Amino acid sequence: DTAVSQTPKYLVTQMGNDKSIKCEQNLGHDTMYWYKQDSKKFLKIMFSYNNKELIINETVPNRFSPKSPDKAHLNLHINSLELGDSAVYFCASSQGSTPPEQFFGPGTRLTVL
Amino acid sequence: GENVEQHPSTLSVQEGDSAVIKCTYSDSASNYFPWYKQELGKRPQLIIDIRSNVGEKKDQRIAVTLNKTAKHFSLHITETQPEDSAVYFCAAGRGGSNYKLTFGKGTLLTVNP
């Protein structure tokens, strides 16, 4: 009964490749997010989607393209991977705008060689 | 945009002592201030949060205080235990359709037995 899940947990790939990370939440939340956590542990928001609509795009290179097929899923596709893309990527979700608690997924550790 | 500063970046205490982590924020419109705990290799998890209509909130050994005038908030952990060792993140956000959290850079807390 995992609330926010991500696949894969680990991803090791070569520079220049294209890869995708998938996220699913079963909490019935209306908003989903992608965060990047770099080697210094800094957590920075990349995107947010509300009811499948892009709300926040935080100056992320256009090699990163989020896609939300429905409210429960938010995927992240990365083209032409670079060394600097190595990080842990966390998906999160929340409900409403009161503002609400955000629930994080387990993270995907991406290593670009 | 919002800017959150967090201090100290590392904190080492003896078991049973108290630990205090401080954060400041820049956007006076922020009205939600959560604290997340992240254990090594795990996801950030909410431990306590406070909203701008409240000055203090307690949950067992954890308390958070908020000073809206000075735009700072603090996390207090009393009677620390080794299992409190983790990275702690403060964050600030405000409700609305483009709700997002801006995180501080984290504090690595080590509780020595």
Mean pLDDT for chain A overall = 93
Average pLDDT over residues B69-95: 95
Distance from CA of A97 to the nearest CA of B (A): 5
Residue A59: list chain B partners with CB under 8 A.
none
CA dihedral B104, B91, B30, B66 (to 10 degrees): -100
What pLDDT score does B37 carry?
98
Burial of residue A7 (CB within 10 Å: 0-12, 13-18, 19+) is middle
Mutate: best of B2, B10, B35, B43, partner A, most A CBs <10 A:
B43
Does B65 score more than 90 pLDDT? Answer: yes
Contact between A93 and A29 under an 8 Å Cβ cutoff? The reply is yes
Mean pLDDT for chain B overall = 94
Cα(A43)–Cα(A58) distance, integer angstroms: 13
Contact A101 B49 (CB under 8 A): yes
Contact A44 B89 (CB under 8 A): no
Residue B97: list chain A partners with CB under 8 A.
50, 55, 97
The confidence band for A81, taking pLDDT boundaries of 50, 70 and 90, is: very high
What pLDDT score does A53 carry?
87
Does B62 score more than 80 pLDDT? Answer: yes
Among candidate residues B28, B6, B1, the one with its CA nearest the CA of residue B104? B6
What pLDDT score does A1 carry?
60
∠ CA B89-A97-A107, nearest 5°, is: 40
Average pLDDT over residues A22-44: 94
Does B107 score more than 80 pLDDT? Answer: yes
Chain A contact present for B89, CB below 8 A: yes
Q: Where are the beta strands (DSSP E) in chain B?
A: 4-7, 10-14, 19-25, 32-38, 45-51, 56-59, 62-67, 72-77, 86-93, 101-103, 107-112
Please state whether the peptide bond connecting residue A66 to the residue before it is cis, i.e. omega within 30 degrees of 0.
no
Chain B contact present for A6, CB below 8 A: no
